[in-house]
Structure 1
Amino acid sequence: MAKDESFDITTGADLMEVANAINQARKEIANRFDFKGVVAEIDYDHGTTRFVLHAQDDYKLEAMWQVVAQRMVARNVPLKNLVRGTPQKASGGTLRQEVTIVQGIEPEIARKIVKFIRDQKYKKAQAQVQGDAVRVSSPSRDELQQVIRDVKAQDWGIELKFGNYR
């Protein structure tokens, strides 16, 4: 009997890189002329999976998002894993927007990935949900590589990582 090979499909962002990107964004916002004398804050507690942008108006909020997005890209944090909430009115006519960092594959998306793999009719590839990841196994490495190519070709709304290839 041949030994099964496998790999895991996961998602997430390195929270240390997120913290570094936010610190860089804070410094840039503090030094930019268009943010002088107005409300422009980023609230983030290290290790959490969300941060809040607090700005004077829609224009400043969007400008802050652009700065944060540039810093995240420079630090290899996938922007697909940052989910922006709707801006909420705060005190003094300011706006707050919560941004959530996706750290695991949601069960609904994981089920869609498993269903996609089954619908492709691979000879022996098996996929199963394991917590916030999807494990794919098969006796054939070539088949696993084909599964990776096919899953990468689809848009799942999040950045997928393929690891633990055994």
Structure 2
Amino acid sequence: MPSFDIVSKTDMPEVNNALDGVRREVGTRYDFKGSSCEITLQDEVITILADDDLKLQQMHELLKGHLTRRSVDAAALDYGKAQPASGNKVRQTITIKQGIDRELAKTITTAIKQGKLKVQASIQGDEVRVNGKKRDDLQEAIAMLKGMDIEQPLQFVNFRD
């Protein structure tokens, strides 16, 4: 019986490479000259420390641009609230989404059921497995899920006949 898995994984080495690119660009750009802006990654949390809100927004744009160049979807970032830090600076934490949480998994399974497709979806930890009798039914399910407005990037892996 054909099946595939729906997962949401972010390639962490590519995220690390993108952050290195952001650090290099911040060090060479004229508008960051004399500022003490920095960006760090610890586990799956990115921390941005900027001089003011304008520099923080510029760091966001740099981060999105470098992630896109590295083929990492910027929708995998969950921005926290900007907080004041010591020395009149601004600190913001950005969490990288990994895995499909329970609510999103339930949304995906109900959408598949309401789509009247001839497939079954089951939640297995942080991924969703979809089974069907025909490969075409599974491809219809993938097309339907790609058309949905989901804020988290999804990958379709382990396609088996």
TM more than 0.5: yes
SS at 2:78 equivalent? strand
Partners of 2:121 and 2:146 in 1: how far apart? Answer: 15
SS at 1:136 equivalent? strand
Are positions 1:6 and 2:17 aligned together? no
Q: 2:79 aligns with which of 77, 84, 96?
A: 84
Write out per-residue CA displacement over residues 52-107 of structure 1, whole angstroms, 9 at most, x where no aligned residue. 01001000000011111111000011111011111011001110010111111111
SS at 2:123 equivalent? strand
Amino-acid identity (%):
40
Q: 2:13 aligns with which of 12, 16, 23?
A: 16
Aligned to 1:154: 148
* Higher share in strand: 2
Equivalenced residues, count: 160
Aligned to 2:66: 71
Which amino acid in structure 1 is aligned with residue 130 of structure 2? V
Which contiguous aligned blocks of 4+ residues in structure 1 show a shift greater than 3 angstroms?
A: none
SS at 1:44 equivalent? strand
Structure 1 gaps, min length 5 = none
| TM-score calculated relative to the size of structure 1 | 0.94
Partners of 1:8 and 1:161 in 2: how far apart? Answer: 8
Are positions 1:107 and 2:102 aligned together? yes
Structure 2 gaps, min length 5 = none
Which amino acid in structure 2 is aligned with residue 25 of structure 1? V
Partners of 2:41 and 2:134 in 1: how far apart? Answer: 45
Are positions 1:130 and 2:124 aligned together? yes
SS at 1:164 equivalent? strand
Please state how far the C-alpha of 1:108 moved relative to its aligned partner: 0.5
What is the aligned-residue RMSD (CA, Å)? 0.8
SS at 2:91 equivalent? strand
